[in-house]
Structure 1
């Protein structure tokens, strides 16, 4: 008998849908059967219960709470309680609790091991896991920004057994970044941004792999913003067909900064400050989305913005950067790069310089 019961429980755990249906049926039989049995036989008692009292008694008894406000006094009611509550009900209820706990533990384990599916929306997808400290820094910088602090993050990587850390709103999807199924589990169609990290600074094939991933992501979501790490500027042609990709030449930036710091001490400290969300007053961008007036130059705009504590440091036009503003006219689709504690809209900037 006990062997058969244990075998049935193991089978239900393996076939969760069938087990859940069976347990719901057993609980329903237990509650309904005991309700009708208790109501019928207890009518002969001194204080006969109503049908709702009988239902209350059955539910409370099956959950092992038992307030004691009702109890079986007749032989028929006691036999019914033994069959429907003790034998059927308690077994079904405790097994249901066990299956629920197993399901929660398995769900959490699947999430940690990357085998689950993300239901996040407007989230950031980080592709590749070159190292724990580096990925942690990317997450920390992203979530420190006030506009993104509540954003969900999904890490997509292959070859990592489970996520080595636990951070709120950060989940993991394990699989090849070159496969559509992996990104579908990461919710690519609902994602807003993607950061594709290099596979490693010592990997000569990193740029080609990152370019392939960027191509896959762009095909799966035509509206997503893609930021890709390119180790060698000579490999930029690999990304030439991707209109949604912004490239960051990490090694070139580090090399330039090393030389600049050697020639002009202090440059490194300032660069670190203005590129970190953890320091008040960081780099931000605003796209020019309308006319600001006839023949308005950027030196005039820079002066006006400085009156509001905003330091205009550059303008991005197409693929070129403008750092000297004299007689440079404000042009539609330019991107203003400035240092401030806030990220402003074009309408707000236009009001400041009006």
Structure 2
């Protein structure tokens, strides 16, 4: 009993403690004034019951005042009703204040990124080098699913920016290299993690991205769950380092614009082609599909694909992590190969997957 009381009073500053205490006090006052009203009025009001008196006390304390029962004696009016009015208004005001305080505190903690995320199947974006960049990524992610939950984990934001609030993007404040911060973002129940470079102009940020990726993979191993992670790499020389963290995907920021500039110069209009392939908001996108064939030639696969009604094209193969775009016609398909497909949207790919096993090479 003593241990329970110590635990109870140790939490006296918590909202639940204040709320429960106020409710207990309100219940005790309700019973006390109900009993006092009954003894003060039972001889003056024929048929008055204790239940009626308890009802009167509740109606009076909450300032509802139905008027179905009221004091008629001097004791009932001045020694019972008056204190009931004053204390009732006080306890109700206190209850409303506790509830309002809790709501304000919750909103403040959520805005400042201190709340634990309850989403499942959400996308976590680590670091926020610029709000516009995060918003562009969010728009791409939500093109096919406008209600996809997105959580940003960053330590350079004092509170959730208004732009994120408008887009319904949640925020966890802290460095993503800290395990407790990632657990606060409910990483175990997430469907993917995007790790952005803290400073796109500083190649040294790759080291922190590597550390974040390692933490994510370790959390996934401890939970027995595979977490899909994509990392933005500033310096191509750090690609090998990133693969040691067992990152699922790497995107090289350095040199990408240089290559696009050269391509546009040599092949005018190629920029528009790459732009369409790199966005989910228009045109077709690139997908990878598990192969259902252990043998056959690539040209035979392409011919068979043309027989189907879905707007899907097979343009290459992924073999042991290496990409083979537009391979030779006689290229043999091997066990474990993945097909690189071009399709209008995810639904086309899902439909095509069910038909893929029907293709005979």
Whole-Å separation in 1 of the counterparts to 2:198 and 2:65: 60
Q: Secondary structure at the match of 2:254?
A: helix
Q: Is the 8 A contact 2:153 2:176 kept in 1?
A: yes
- Equivalent positions of 1:227-246 (< 5 A) are 227-246=230-249
Q: Is the 8 A contact 1:304 1:352 kept in 2?
A: no
For residue 318 of structure 2, the aligned residue among 316, 319, 322 is 316
Match of 1:282 in 2: 285
Match of 1:155 in 2: 152
Residue 168 of structure 1 deviates from its aligned partner by: 5.3
Whole-Å separation in 2 of the counterparts to 1:353 and 1:50: 83
Residue 219 of structure 1 deviates from its aligned partner by: 0.8
Match of 2:342 in 1: 338
Relative to the length of structure 2, the TM-score reads: 0.83
Whole-Å separation in 2 of the counterparts to 1:65 and 1:249: 67
Give 5+ residue unaligned stretches, structure 2.
Answer: 1-10
Residues matched between the structures, number: 337
How big is the alpha-carbon RMSD for the aligned residues of Structure 1 and Structure 2?
A: 2.7
Residue 160 of structure 1 deviates from its aligned partner by: 1.6
Match of 1:196 in 2: 195
Whole-Å separation in 2 of the counterparts to 1:50 and 1:280: 76
Match of 1:126 in 2: 125
Q: Do residues 249 (structure 1) and 252 (structure 2) align?
A: yes
Query: Could you say if the C-alpha distance between residues 252 and 18 of structure 1 is closer, same or farther in structure 2, counting changes exceeding 3 Å?
Result: same
Match of 2:271 in 1: 268
- Equivalent positions of 1:169-184 (< 5 A) are 169-184=168-183
Residue 24 of structure 1 deviates from its aligned partner by: 2.0
Moved more, 276-285 or 86-95: 276-285
Q: Secondary structure at the match of 1:236?
A: helix
Q: Secondary structure at the match of 2:88?
A: helix
Give 5+ residue unaligned stretches, structure 1.
Answer: 1-11
Q: Is the 8 A contact 1:26 1:88 kept in 2?
A: no
Moved more, 329-338 or 196-205: 329-338
Whole-Å separation in 2 of the counterparts to 1:49 and 1:335: 83
Whole-Å separation in 2 of the counterparts to 1:191 and 1:73: 65
Whole-Å separation in 1 of the counterparts to 2:168 and 2:49: 49
Q: Secondary structure at the match of 2:287?
A: strand
Residue 347 of structure 1 deviates from its aligned partner by: 4.5
Moved more, 99-108 or 322-331: 322-331
Moved more, 124-133 or 331-340: 331-340
For residue 348 of structure 1, the aligned residue among 334, 354, 358 is 354
